Structure 1
Amino acid sequence: MTQKLIVGDMIRYYLQQNKMTIKELGLKLGKGESTVSKWINNKNMPMAKDLSAMTHIFNTDIQTLMYGANETDELITKTGKVMRTLTPDRQQNVYTYADNQLKEQQAGNVIAMPTPDDNFAEVSADGVLSAGVGEWLDGTDSGFMVKVKKPLPDSYDYVFQINGHSMEPYFKDKQVVFAEEHEEYRNGQIVAAIVDGNAYLKRLDCDGETMTLESLNPEYPNINVYEDDDYKILGVVFA
């Protein structure tokens, strides 16, 4: 049976186990926070060299990092091997200890499993980005609360909710995204931009004289930005 790739979940697990932030992992790998965030959220797949580097950082192996591991079965196998090398009286000591642990567990002395809500955090959104024909955003609107999956990015300047379908399949309607301000912006980046008071989520294409905000969904038009337009790029967007 084909195993399911769970790289993003495993990276998140190892970050928590090692008390490491997305930024710290990115620095170790020479990657930006947005790149690592996309791995964790299963938007992109790490390259082979990055997977190899993470096995050393997290002290694990490539199979576990990509597919997870049944640690319970591995522990039982290791315990059985140790038991067979012990004398009978020491085997009895191990059994007695294990039996007492089982009784404590059955009595309720166990750590509670996290509930689904523990995997999400509430943050204040700065507004709505249009993945369509435009969404008014003048900076005077009061924020509203949205739920996002943990862990949150270590660095971001804006939180937006998407309205529309022009950036599918990569960004979906009602999805919550983050944006980070940069000093310079490059062609191909997904940006949050305001044009004449309307906020957009689009891909940037600029040839030096004209600027186009492109839709990834071919069913939606691009937005052409001219010299006399009032526009501003707020930041590079990532999930």
Structure 2
Amino acid sequence: MYTQLVPERQQHVYEVIAQELQHQRDAAKVVELPLEILNIAGVASAGTGEELVDERDQINYRGELPKFDFAIKINGDSMEPRFHDQQVALVKKAFEAENGQIVIAYVDGRSYIKQFEQTEQTCRLVSLNRKYAPIEVQDNPSFQIKGIVIGTLSN
């Protein structure tokens, strides 16, 4: 039947089909995503440090998530305004970071979420909230990067 139409009417049929296909795609986008249980691997301080404990928690979450290796709860306000107390950070495992990346790091048995800053002279963990002093880690043998923050879930 389509081939029997003149080109002008074929174009009209094509446009109607394209419009219907777009409506179908849009309808599929509003399908409610399933509720998932997200495991929280522990806490990281956005402040003065959290003692490392093997504390596990779970939250319910509905929505799309980026690919991540572990989730960690943020405690404190040192990373405001970008990160907030009780937010959940999604982390990709890493043992190195690029200058300016937000990392989960361990220093002297405490976990932190901080911005990694490295120059030729120094290496430190920096808070986004300027009321907190940087943590110098240049010559600290206990300093370890555990991951790069790739996203957060709001509380």
2:105 is matched with 193
**Is 1:132 the counterpart of 2:44 in the alignment?**
no
For 2:138 and 2:96, locate their aligned partners in 1 and report how far apart those are by CA, in whole Å. 19
Matches within 5 A, 1:1-239: 17=29, 121-137=36-52, 141-153=54-66, 155-182=67-94, 184-237=96-149, 238-239=151-152
For 2:84 and 2:65, locate their aligned partners in 1 and report how far apart those are by CA, in whole Å. 19
Cα distance 1:133–1:222, how it changes in 2: closer, same or farther (>3 A)? same
> What is the aligned-residue identity percentage?
37
- Provide structure 2 residue ranges, at least 5 long, that are not aligned to the other structure: 1-24
For 1:148 and 1:192, locate their aligned partners in 2 and report how far apart those are by CA, in whole Å. 22
The higher-RCO structure (CA 8 Å, 6+ apart) is: 2
Q: Which structure shows the higher helix fraction?
A: 1
Q: CA deviation at 1:210?
A: 2.6
Kindly indicate whether the alpha-carbon contact (under 8 Å) linking 1:146 and 1:176 is maintained by their aligned counterparts in 2. Answer: no
Amino acid at match of 2:44: L
Q: Which structure shows the higher strand fraction?
A: 2
Cα distance 1:221–1:148, how it changes in 2: closer, same or farther (>3 A)? farther
Kindly indicate whether the alpha-carbon contact (under 8 Å) linking 1:194 and 1:232 is maintained by their aligned counterparts in 2. Answer: yes
For 2:68 and 2:116, locate their aligned partners in 1 and report how far apart those are by CA, in whole Å. 19
> What is the TM-score normalised by the length of structure 2?
0.70
- Provide structure 1 residue ranges, at least 5 long, that are not aligned to the other structure: 1-12, 18-112
Offset from partner CA, 1:92-145 (integer Å, 9 cap, x none): xxxxxxxxxxxxxxxxxxxxx95xxx675321111101000000125xx14111
> What is the TM-score normalised by the length of structure 1?
0.47
Amino acid at match of 1:146: I
Kindly indicate whether the alpha-carbon contact (under 8 Å) linking 1:148 and 1:176 is maintained by their aligned counterparts in 2. Answer: no
For 1:173 and 1:228, locate their aligned partners in 2 and report how far apart those are by CA, in whole Å. 27
RMSD of aligned residue pairs (Cα, Å): 2.4
- Aligned residue pairs total 125
SS in 2 for 1:126: strand
4+ residue segments displaced more than 4 Å: none
1:26 is matched with none
Offset from partner CA, 1:155-205 (integer Å, 9 cap, x none): 211210000001111100000111102364110001100101110010000
